[in-house]
């Protein structure tokens, strides 16, 4: 997070400057923002405070799943704002049960807890893991996670995040965490024991550079969790909820490898904060009345928006697959033109393009050209576009990317 990005002149307007100056004066300086202030969006495009248009291929890091100002989402937000925004969890409202029923149907799991973000979902899951282990015997509290994983910024989530750059400043973190390399079945077998209370995996590592776990690794993790009576958790906060072209990334496998718990957040309420822990009966039984809660979690606004989102998602899944394949095919064409593109990875509309050099400057070049994507794991261009992306949008993206890549070809490789 220490890198400072030097804005190109084109982006330093007086309006932008005012916004930046205020933030620099009054905000905690934890974000290295790009030099761009956004004002509004429509479909797959966003507009900055000067009215310049950008093709949005990052969608708020995988959050604006139906793009911007989607008419059906706008309608339910407007209606619900005039009815009831918040109830707390002291009372019932019309949408939590309905949304939990919907999640049970699409996930194959049974019970949901609602919260407000990915990291909060992870915290709840870690409590379920610990409570499950403790209910069996003292000492059964270890958690297995992957090297290079990312699970959030709060203490528990950070403790199982397998990248030291996020953790170092905050040690000591939770104890009893064992990290294994992705897809290393031997290491996984060696790490799991009678003391293991839970195994947590991202099916596709997002912040870690768009790397999928292999089918044998996923099946072995499930088998070991069963053998040692541990809870098996898929963190689908970035890679799930339609983004891979299925409701959940674990459904890409046939037969499906079912987790005991699936965690979701980002795209589910199209920009309204909402996260969830979806559990089977075994995992859910770890939490008894009074053991967990959230003031805002699963409020009527977020719940209603998410229900509308799932209605729309049902129809969108085939196109997420088709447009995602088309995007990867067009990127593969680029790979043939530019030797510094090492690999194209991903599923559906979660795509990583690995380069042979750090790609932060390319993100700035993208902003200058009117296209938004980001750079993760230093050398991976990451695309998490809205699910409404069309082949036409992909063609435009490829044209813009070609322009950008042509410029940097000789200078940066
Ligand atoms: C896989 C994964 N887990 C957890 C999180 C944390 O989510 P949030 O930022 O909503 O707390 C993220 C965020 O990027 C993520 O990608």
Query: What CATH number did the domain enclosing 135 receive?
Result: 3.40.640.10
Percent of the chain with pLDDT over 70: 96
Which range marks the domain in which residue 129 is found? 96-298
Query: What CATH number did the domain enclosing 359 receive?
Result: 3.90.1150.10
In a domain, 87, yes or no: no
Residue nearest atom 9 in ligand 1 by C-alpha distance: 118
Over residues 211-222, mean pLDDT: 98
Which atom of ligand 1 is the closest one to the Cα of 206? Answer: 16
Residue length of the chain: 413
Which atom of ligand 1 is the closest one to the Cα of 202? Answer: 1
* Dihedral angle computed from the Cα positions of residues 55, 60, 66 and 68, in that order, rounded to the nearest 10 degrees: -60
Q: How far is the CA of 219 from the centre of ligand 1 (A)?
A: 24
117 CB near ligand 1 (under 6 Å): yes
192 CB near ligand 1 (under 6 Å): no
Q: What pLDDT score does 301 carry?
A: 98
Q: How confident is the model at residue 8 (pLDDT cuts 50, 70, 90)?
A: low
150 CB near ligand 1 (under 6 Å): yes
Alpha-carbon distance 282 to 291, whole Å?
16
Alpha-carbon distance 300 to 359, whole Å?
41
Q: How far is the CA of 214 from the centre of ligand 1 (A)?
A: 21
Distance between alpha carbon 50 and the CA centroid of its chain, in Å? 29
Q: How far is the CA of 118 from the centre of ligand 1 (A)?
A: 5
For the beta carbon of residue 94, count every other beta carbon within 10 angstroms: 13
Question: Phi, psi at residue 269, to the nearest 5°?
Answer: -125, 25
In a domain, 89, yes or no: no
Q: Over 70: is that where the pLDDT of 11 sits? A: no
207 CB near ligand 1 (under 6 Å): yes
CB burial of residue 413 (10 Å; 0-12, 13-18, 19+): exposed
My answer on whether 336 and 286 are in the same domain is no
Over residues 262-291, mean pLDDT: 98
Specify the pairing of strand 142-146 against strand 196-201.
parallel
In a domain, 84, yes or no: no
My answer on whether 255 and 344 are in the same domain is no
Question: Phi, psi at residue 199, to the nearest 5°?
Answer: -125, 125
Which residue has tokens 């405070």? 49
Which atom of ligand 1 is the closest one to the Cα of 207? Answer: 16
Q: Over 90: is that where the pLDDT of 6 sits? A: no
Q: What pLDDT score does 13 carry?
A: 75
Cα–Cα distances in Å, from 301 out to 45, 92, 98, 106, 127?
24, 13, 13, 21, 27
My answer on whether 138 and 198 are in the same domain is yes
Instruction: Output the CA angle 188-202-119, nearest 5 degrees.
Output: 120
My answer on whether 348 and 293 are in the same domain is no
Q: What pLDDT score does 266 carry?
A: 98
Alpha-carbon distance 212 to 250, whole Å?
11
Our mutation pick for probing the ligand 1 site, out of 123, 238, 376, counting the most ligand atoms within 8 A of Cβ, is 238
Alpha-carbon distance 21 to 359, whole Å?
26
My answer on whether 150 and 278 are in the same domain is yes
My answer on whether 165 and 29 are in the same domain is no
Over residues 61-89, mean pLDDT: 98
118 CB near ligand 1 (under 6 Å): yes
- How many structural domains compose the chain? 2
My answer on whether 264 and 190 are in the same domain is yes
Question: Phi, psi at residue 134, to the nearest 5°?
Answer: -65, -30
In a domain, 288, yes or no: yes
Our mutation pick for probing the ligand 1 site, out of 115, 210, 266, counting the most ligand atoms within 8 A of Cβ, is 266
Alpha-carbon distance 110 to 236, whole Å?
16
Our mutation pick for probing the ligand 1 site, out of 212, 237, 352, counting the most ligand atoms within 8 A of Cβ, is 237
List the alpha helices (DSSP H) in 143-244: 155-159, 164-167, 185-191, 215-227
My answer on whether 105 and 200 are in the same domain is yes
Alpha-carbon distance 101 to 94, whole Å?
12
Q: Over 50: is that where the pLDDT of 124 sits? A: yes
In a domain, 217, yes or no: yes
Q: What pLDDT score does 5 carry?
A: 52
My answer on whether 120 and 167 are in the same domain is yes
Alpha-carbon distance 411 to 413, whole Å?
6
Q: How confident is the model at residue 2 (pLDDT cuts 50, 70, 90)?
A: very low
CB burial of residue 311 (10 Å; 0-12, 13-18, 19+): exposed
Residue 31, SS3? coil
Q: How confident is the model at residue 14 (pLDDT cuts 50, 70, 90)?
A: confident
273 CB near ligand 1 (under 6 Å): no
Q: How far is the CA of 238 from the centre of ligand 1 (A)?
A: 6
Instruction: Output the CA angle 173-174-175, nearest 5 degrees.
Output: 115
List pLDDT tens digits, range 297-353: 999 999 999 999 999 999 999 999 999 999 999 999 999 999 999 999 999 999 999
Residue nearest atom 16 in ligand 1 by C-alpha distance: 238
Residue where a domain stops, chosen among 235, 263, 298: 298
In a domain, 234, yes or no: yes
Q: How far is the CA of 409 from the centre of ligand 1 (A)?
A: 33
Q: Over 70: is that where the pLDDT of 132 sits? A: yes
Which atom of ligand 1 is the closest one to the Cα of 117? Answer: 10
My answer on whether 100 and 205 are in the same domain is yes
My answer on whether 24 and 152 are in the same domain is no
Q: How confident is the model at residue 1 (pLDDT cuts 50, 70, 90)?
A: very low
Residue where a domain stops, chosen among 266, 298, 330: 298
374 CB near ligand 1 (under 6 Å): no
237 CB near ligand 1 (under 6 Å): yes
Over residues 364-390, mean pLDDT: 97
Residue nearest atom 8 in ligand 1 by C-alpha distance: 118
In a domain, 83, yes or no: no
Q: How confident is the model at residue 4 (pLDDT cuts 50, 70, 90)?
A: very low
My answer on whether 285 and 324 are in the same domain is no
Do 199 and 192 form a contact (C-beta atoms < 8 A)? yes
Over residues 132-158, mean pLDDT: 98
Which residue has tokens 């776990």? 213
The mean pLDDT of the chain is 95
In a domain, 347, yes or no: yes
């Amino acid at each position: 997070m220490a890198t400072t990005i030097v804005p190109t002149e084109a982006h330093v307007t007086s309006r932008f400057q005012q916004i930046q100056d205020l933030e620099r004066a009054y905000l905690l300086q934890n974000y290295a923002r790009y030099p761009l202030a956004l004002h509004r969006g429509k479909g797959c495009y966003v507009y900055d405070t000067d009215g310049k248009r950008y093709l949005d291929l990052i969608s708020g890091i995988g959050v604006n799943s139906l793009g911007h100002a989607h008419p059906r989402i706008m309608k339910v937000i407007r209606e619900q704002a005039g009815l009831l925004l918040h109830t707390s969890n002291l009372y019932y409202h019309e949408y939590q049960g309905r949304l939990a029923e919907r999640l049970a149907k699409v996930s194959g799991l049974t019970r949901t807890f609602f919260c407000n973000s990915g990291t909060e979902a992870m915290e709840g899951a870690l409590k379920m893991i610990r409570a499950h282990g403790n209910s069996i015997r003292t000492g059964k509290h270890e958690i297995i996670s992957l090297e290079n994983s990312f699970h959030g910024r709060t203490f528990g989530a950070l403790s199982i995040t397998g990248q030291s750059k996020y953790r170092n400043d905050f040690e000591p973190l939770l104890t009893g965490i064992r990290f294994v390399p992705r897809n290393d079945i031997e290491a996984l077998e060696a790490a799991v024991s009678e003391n293991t209370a839970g195994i947590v995996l991202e099916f596709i590592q997002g912040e870690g550079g768009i790397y999928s776990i292999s089918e044998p690794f996923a099946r072995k993790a499930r088998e070991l969790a069963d053998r040692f009576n541990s809870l098996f958790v898929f963190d689908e906060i970035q890679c799930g909820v339609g983004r891979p072209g299925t409701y959940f990334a674990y459904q890409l496998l046939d037969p499906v490898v079912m987790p005991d718990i699936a965690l979701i957040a980002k795209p589910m309420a199209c920009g309204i904060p909402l996260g969830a822990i979806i559990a089977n009966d075994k995992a859910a039984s770890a939490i008894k009345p009074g053991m967990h809660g959230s003031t805002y979690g699963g409020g009527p606004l977020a719940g209603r928006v998410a229900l509308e989102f799932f209605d729309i998602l049902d129809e969108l899944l085939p196109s997420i697959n088709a447009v995602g394949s088309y995007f990867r095919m067009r990127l593969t064409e680029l790979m043939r033109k530019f030797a510094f593109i090492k690999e194209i990875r991903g599923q559906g509309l979660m795509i990583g393009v690995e380069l042979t050099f750090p790609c932060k400057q390319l993100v700035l070049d993208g902003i200058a050209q009117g296209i938004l994507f980001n750079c993760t794991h230093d050398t991976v261009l990451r695309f998490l576009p809205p699910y409404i992306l069309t082949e036409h949008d992909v063609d435009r993206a490829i044209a813009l990317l070609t322009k950008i890549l042509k410029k940097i070809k000789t200078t940066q490789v």
